């Protein structure tokens, strides 16, 4: 019987922008493994060079992942350790690796996560939206009809909704979100951990207007976070609370525009929507 020790697959999170976010453990293991399986070997070669490492690379992406399973497993059986990395962040999170990890687990191989950067977690931690429950949906469909159907199916979900999006589809996705969710609050995280990291807060139409004013805000990689649907009973209570606040402000002689600004600051939402509601209350007496 062979005494060969079977190797380990390390699932290694890499930086999403700032190289300092690579953990010492991840850097050490990338230098110790026999092979790095990478989504894009050119991209990962650059990371390894910056770390002063020279490690053999093998491509593993959505088009060849299934075909790579036996090849990588054979190396594990020979006792070699392998690191799995994606271009940025944690592998398998809207990135390749699921097929490999699933098949190796079926075969009883040892798989060890090396935690680190993850765009959706980083974005949620700074967004100011509820994080006790959230629903990650990856990238929305590229085609308009499928994107609309996906959003309509999510319209009544009460968890915070999280999506990834690319610069060439961000406007289309925000327009679709505006149609599906109306004035619901949205936080857009752009270029996380990079030089031009920004967080934009408002509803989807507000953010589209910001991009019209500043086209740079439509560049980079995005995490879109949308507040969950409010339960019907809570929504009714919120409407009554909002009307009471606006009515009290108007009764004290505060102008419609100022009342709308106060409501938007205290309760969230767009000033334009609050202005319309305050104006209606004023006209109703």
Angstrom CA distances, 51 to 45, 80, 85, 108, 129, stand at 10, 21, 15, 32, 36
Question: Tokens in use for 11?
Answer: 């699932």
Cα–Cα distance measured from residue 192 to residue 123, given in angstroms and rounded to the nearest whole number: 7
Interhelix angle 98-106/65-77, nearest 10 degrees: 40
The phi-psi region of residue 247 (left if phi > 0; otherwise alpha if psi is between -120 and 50; otherwise beta) is alpha
Same domain, yes or no, for 159 and 186? yes
Split at pLDDT 50, 70, 90, the class of 276 is confident
Torsion of CA 90, 91, 94, 98, to 10 degrees: -140
In a domain, 262, yes or no: yes
Please determine, for residue 238, whether its predicted confidence score (pLDDT) is greater than 80. no
Same domain, yes or no, for 107 and 125? no
Same domain, yes or no, for 64 and 164? no
pTM for this predicted structure: 0.80
Task: Convert the pLDDT of each residue in 57-114 to its tens digit.
Answer: 999 999 999 999 999 999 999 999 999 999 999 999 999 999 999 999 999 999 999 9
Burial of 181 (0-12, 13-18, 19+ CB in 10 A): buried
Same domain, yes or no, for 109 and 137? no
In the chain, the number of structural domains is 3
Question: Tokens in use for 78?
Answer: 């020979």
- CATH number of the domain at 156, please: 3.30.950.10
Task: Convert the pLDDT of each residue in 203-222 to its tens digit.
Answer: 999 999 999 999 999 999 99
Same domain, yes or no, for 157 and 193? yes
State whether residue 67 is helix, strand or coil: helix
Same domain, yes or no, for 113 and 125? no
Same domain, yes or no, for 18 and 88? yes
CA atoms within 13 A on the CB side of 69: 18
* Domain around 20: 8-117
Q: Note whether 214 and 183 are within 8 A (CB).
A: no
Cα–Cα distance measured from residue 39 to residue 84, given in angstroms and rounded to the nearest whole number: 9
State whether residue 37 is helix, strand or coil: strand
In a domain, 1, yes or no: no
> DSSP for 163-186?
EEE-TTTHHHHHHHHHHHHTT--E
Burial 101-126 (b: 16+ CB within 10 A, else e): bebbeeeebebeebebbbbbbbbbee
* Percent share of the chain, pLDDT over 70: 95
């Amino acid at each position: 019987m062979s005494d060969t020790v079977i190797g380990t697959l390390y699932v290694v999170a890499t930086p999403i922008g700032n190289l300092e976010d690579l953990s010492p453990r991840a850097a050490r293991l990338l230098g110790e493994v026999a092979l790095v399986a990478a989504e894009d070997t050119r991209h990962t070669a650059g990371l390894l060079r910056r770390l002063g490492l020279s490690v053999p690379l093998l491509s593993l992406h959505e088009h060849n992942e299934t075909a790579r399973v036996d090849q990588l497993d054979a190396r594990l059986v020979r006792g070699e350790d392998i690191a799995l990395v994606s271009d940025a962040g944690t592998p398998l999170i809207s990135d390749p690796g699921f097929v490999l990890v699933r098949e190796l687990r079926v075969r009883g191989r040892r798989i060890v996560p090396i935690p680190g950067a993850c765009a959706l977690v980083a974005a949620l931690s700074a967004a100011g939206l509820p994080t006790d429950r959230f629903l990650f949906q990856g990238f929305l469909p590229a085609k308009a009809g499928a994107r609309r159907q996906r959003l309509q199916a999510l319209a009544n979900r009460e968890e915070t909704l999280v999506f990834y999006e690319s610069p060439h589809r961000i406007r289309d996705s925000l327009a679709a979100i505006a149609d599906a969710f109306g004035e619901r609050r949205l936080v857009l995280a752009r270029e996380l951990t990079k030089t031009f990291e920004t967080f934009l807060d408002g509803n989807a139409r507000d953010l589209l207007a910001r991009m019209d004013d500043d086209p740079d805000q439509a560049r980079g990689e995005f995490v879109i976070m949308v507040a969950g649907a409010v339960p019907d009973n809570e929504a009714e209570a919120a409407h009554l609370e909002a009307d009471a606040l606006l009515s009290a402000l108007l009764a004290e002689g505060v102008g419609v525009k100022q009342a709308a600004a106060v409501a938007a600051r205290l309760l969230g939402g767009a000033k334009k929507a609050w202005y319309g509601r305050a104006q209606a209350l004023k006209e109703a007496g």
